[in-house]
Structure 1
Amino acid sequence: MEDGAQARSVGVVGAGIVGVALAFLLSKRGFDVTLFDRELPGKSGPSFGNAGHIAGSEIFPISNAGILTTAMRMLVDPNGPLKIDPFYVPRLTPWLFRFYLSGRHRAYEKATEALTMLSARALPSTKTLLAEAGLSNMVRHKPALYLYDSSRSLQSALPSWRAKRDRGHSFSVIADRRDLTELEPSLSHEFAGAVLSDDWGAVTDPYHVVTNLFEAAIAGGVKYRRQNVEEVLPAKHMITVGCEGEAFSFDKVVIACGAHTPFLARQIGDHLPIEAEGGYNYTYPASGLELNHPLILADRGIAATSISSGLRVGGWAVFAGLTSEPKQAYFDRIEKIAVRAFPRLHTLGGRAWSGLRPSTPDSVPIISQSARAKGVFYTAGHGHCGLSFAAVSAEIMLELLRGNQQAGRPFAIDRFKSLR
C-alpha cells in the first residue's frame, strides 16, 4: 500500500479556509485529522472578510520590472492602494528586497508558471471540493469585470491581458461606456472602460463557506481543538503539537495559520518570508445594489462583490506588522471610493473590517515540506488568493503527504534561496 493510502494521523494548525479545506480533504481520503485554532473557524483573518472571489486569471506576481515606479506612485497618493508604516520599514526591508528580486527575469517567470497552474485549477478544484462537502450551491462561475479609470490605463493593461490569453485565459474588452452601463447599471459613469475576464467565480459568502465546510469536516470525522498552538516539536517518528499545557502527537503536522505561520516555523528552524499585509473593507447589508459580476477597480486596488450579507467593497495592501491596529482614516477613504464608484449606494449600517493577508515576496504560496523536519509541512502565504487557491493547495498537500514531493516543487520553501 502506498504511503498515505492508509489512515494516518495529521495535525492541521489553522482553521481559516486553507486549513479547513485541507482538513476536510484529508479526512475524506482516509487520514485521521485534528484541526487546531485559538479562534472559531474562519472568524479571524482574511477568511472572514475577503471579497469572495475565485480568481481564475491571476497568473502574474505583483512584483515586476516596473514595480519601483508603480510603488512610489502609490505611496505618495493618499488614496493609493499601497501603504507602508514608516516605523515598520526596518523590519520590512529584507522582505521588500526579496519582493524586488522576485520581479526580475527568471524568478518572475517561475512565479508566473506556478501561479498559472494554480489559477487554472482554482475554480474547478473549488467546485469539486465544495460539491464533495454538499455545498455546490455556494460557488458559481462568474466572469470578473476589471474597471479602468482612463482609456490610457485600459490600453496600458492590454499587453498583460494578451499575455494571459496566450496562457489560456480568455477575455473581452469593453471600451464603450454604454456597454459597461448595460453590464453593471449601478456603476458610476466615470470609468472609461473594462476587461471582462472569463475564468472567475464567486462564493455566496466567504465566511459561510468556511463554517459550512468546517461542519462537513467535523461530520466526516475531523476533530477540532480550540486551543492556541504554542509549539510544534519534531521527533524521530512523531510530531508533537503543544497547546496551553497539553501535548498531542501526530505522524505529520501541517502548519496553515496564515500570517502567523513564520512564528511556528522559526521554532523548527525554517525561515519563511511571509509578511502580514493588511486589507480593509466595508460590507453594506442594505446597499440597494446588486452587482452582476465580481468587480476589480484596477487603478484603485479595490474589489467589490455582492455576497449574501451585502455589498462588500475593499482591498489595499497595508504593511505595518502583525500587531498593528486598523486606522479609521483608511476605512474613511475606502468608503469614499465606494460612494464614488456606486453613486446610489446606501451606506447606512455599513460594517468595517480589517484583516491580515499572509504574503510572500513572489506572490506564490508556500506548499512545502519543512527543510528541517521531515514530518512538518507548510501551506501558507496565499496573499490575496487564499479562498481562490485553498482547494488546489489542499490537493497538492495531499500529494505531498502521500510522498509525492514533485507535486510541491514550484511551491517549496527552498525557492527563496535565490532571492537574497
Structure 2
Amino acid sequence: MLLLCGAPAFADGVPRALTADDFIAVDPAQAKLGQLLFYDRILSGNRNIACSTCHHPDLGTGDGLSLGIGEGGEGLGPQRTAGTGDDRIRKRIPRNAPGLWNLGARDLHTIFHDGRLSVADTYENGFNSPAEEWLPEGLDNLLAAQAIFPLVAQFEMAGNPKENEVAGAIHKRMDYAWPIFTDRVRHIPAYAEGFAGAYDHIKSAKDITISDIANALSAFMIWEWTSTDSRFDAYLSGDEKALNTQQKQGLELFYGKANCSSCHSGPLMTDQAFHALGLPPFGPGRTRRFDPMVRDVGRMGESDALEDAYAFKTPMLRNVALTAPYGHNGAYPTLEGIVRHHMNPLQSLDNWTPEIAALPSVPWLEAIDFMVWQDSREMARQRAAVQIENNLLTDSEVDQIVAFLHALTGETANDGKLGVPKAVPSGLPVDPRITP
C-alpha cells in the first residue's frame, strides 16, 4: 500500500507536481498572433475549416466525436455534419482528435497517436517526421513541427485534388503546399504587421515563412492550454485537503493495485511509449498501400516493427475528464468505459457495440465504418496483439479511479487566457463558442 498521507510527493511511483518551469516559455505577442491563426480558416485549402474546428476550447480542445469530420463538414462538435453535394466529406478522419493540453512540456519528445513525429536527428533537422528531409527549417519546438501537418492532410484541412491549389500541391510533395499558405498570410496586412511586431527577424511580409506561422501557432497553444493547477498537483505540492477521500482512494489504486502508472508515469502521466489495448476498431483505418483491408496498425505503421502492431501512444492525463471520447479512435464516451476496458480488454471488445461510438451519420460511408469486423483473421490478429493483462476491480474501485481522474482537471482549465477572437484578419468566419 502506498503511503500517501503526510508526504504524497515522496510516495513510491507518485510524481512531483507539474510547474510552469516544465513548459516552454512563450512570448505573449507571439501567442496573440497564434491565436488569430488558430481560429482563421485561411490555413485550410478551401478556406472552410480552422484548427479550432476540431480542437475547440468548449470541447476540451477536441471535437467531441470518436472520429472527426474534417474538410467539407458543417457545424461544430457532436452536431457537425458531413456536408452535402460535391463538397461532402469523402472519408472520416481515421483517428480521434486529441486534446491539446500541455503539449509545450519540455520533456515531451513524441507526438501523434502513432508517434510519427518525434525529436530526433533522423533527417538532420531535429525531427523524425512524415516530411522527412523536406521539413522546413526554423521550427522552435516539437509542437510547432506538429502544427503544420494538419494543414496538408487531405481529409483534415487541405481538401481534395482539383479543389484548390493546396490539394494539388501536396499530391506532388507535401512541402510544396506550405509556401501557398505562407503567401496567403503574407498578403494580409494585419498579419504582416503582427509578425513584424512579434518576431525580431521579420522586417516585412516577405520575411514570413511557414515556420514562423507554425511557431506562432505553437506559442498560442502553449500559452492557452498549459495546465498545472489541478487538485492533484495541489495535493502533490503538500495540500492534503486538495483531494477528497474517494479521490485519494483512486490515487492509491492508480499507483498501486490497478497498475495504471506502469504506463501513465512521471509528471506528465505518460511513458511516451506505445501499447496495444485491443480497442474496438472502426472507421476507415489508417491504411498503407499494401494493406489488404481497412485497418489501423498503429505504431507499426511508423516503425515497421511487428511488435508494434496495433499499439498506440500513452496519452497524458491532465484534463482528461474534459476530452471525451477516449482511445485513439474515441471508442468509449466515458471515463468509466475506458477504465473498464483496461480491466479486461478482450471481454470489453466482445461486449462493445457500434452504437457506443460517437459517429455522426454518413450514409455513403456506412459500408466502411465497421468493415474490419467482417474479417475474422484481422480481428484475431488484433486480439492476439493485446499487451496488457486483466486486472479486475470492483465497481467501487472503478468509481474511485474515475474520481481521481476528475481531480486531474485544472482549476482554470476552462478559463482561456486569450479565448476565441471575435474576428480574424482574413475576414473569414470564426468558429463560435459552443457554450455561452
| TM-score, normalised with respect to structure 2 | 0.24
Structure with more of its chain in strand, by fraction:
1
**TM-score (structure 1 length as normaliser):** 0.25
